[in-house]
């Protein structure tokens, strides 16, 4: 790979498809992310800058079987929802989630302005996210990841 010069997050095209299947995607609200690590072709960990508009959430509440995850607040305020309750995150604050720890988490923007944060996480191909609050299960197969209900039935 050839050298890529430093750039700004604004130079990376934002994406708004977090990949959650319906009907779960409907709960996400208006959000976008910029795959900062992908710009440099990073393969061992991912880095993204996520922005949640008022009323949006980062994901379904989840935890990872094999991947670590780290969040660093940049601007705005978000509510961190975990098994132990809710905590306000403000700029400069950060939180980490160790692989295999079943402390399910996600961020919710209950404010009146957009909020941005960095997410840094392991890229472990066999990692499976677990969604304790939703009837969603993901499984890795030889042909890729499949999404279904927890009882094995199709989502659609």
Tokens 């910029």, residue located = 34
pTM attached to this predicted model:
0.85
The CATH homologous superfamily to which domain 21-127 belongs is Jelly Rolls (2.60.120.10)
Structural element, H or E, at residue 38: helix 36-39
Q: Please write the tens of the pLDDT for every residue from 32-65.
A: 889 999 999 999 999 999 999 999 999 889 999 9
User: Taking the domains of the chain in order of start, what are their residue ranges?
Assistant: 21-127
Which tokens is 45 given? 């960990």
* Phi, psi of 100, deg, nearest 5: 85, -15
């Amino acid at each position: 790979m050839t050298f890529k010069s430093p750039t700004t997050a604004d130079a990376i095209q934002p994406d708004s498809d977090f990949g959650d299947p319906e009907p779960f995607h409907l709960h996400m609200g208006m959000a976008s992310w910029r795959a900062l690590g992908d710009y440099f072709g990073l393969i061992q960990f991912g880095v993204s800058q996520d922005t949640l508009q008022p009323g949006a959430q980062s994901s379904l509440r989840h935890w990872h079987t094999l991947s670590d995850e780290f969040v660093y607040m940049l601007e705005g305020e978000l509510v961190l929802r975990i098994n132990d309750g809710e905590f306000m995150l403000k700029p400069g604050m950060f939180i980490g989630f160790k692989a295999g720890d079943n402390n399910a988490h996600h961020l919710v923007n209950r404010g009146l302005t957009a909020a941005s944060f960095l997410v840094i996480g392991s890229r472990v191909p066999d990692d499976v996210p677990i969604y304790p609050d939703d009837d969603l299960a993901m499984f890795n197969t030889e042909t890729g990841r499949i999404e279904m209900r927890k009882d094995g039935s199709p989502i659609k």
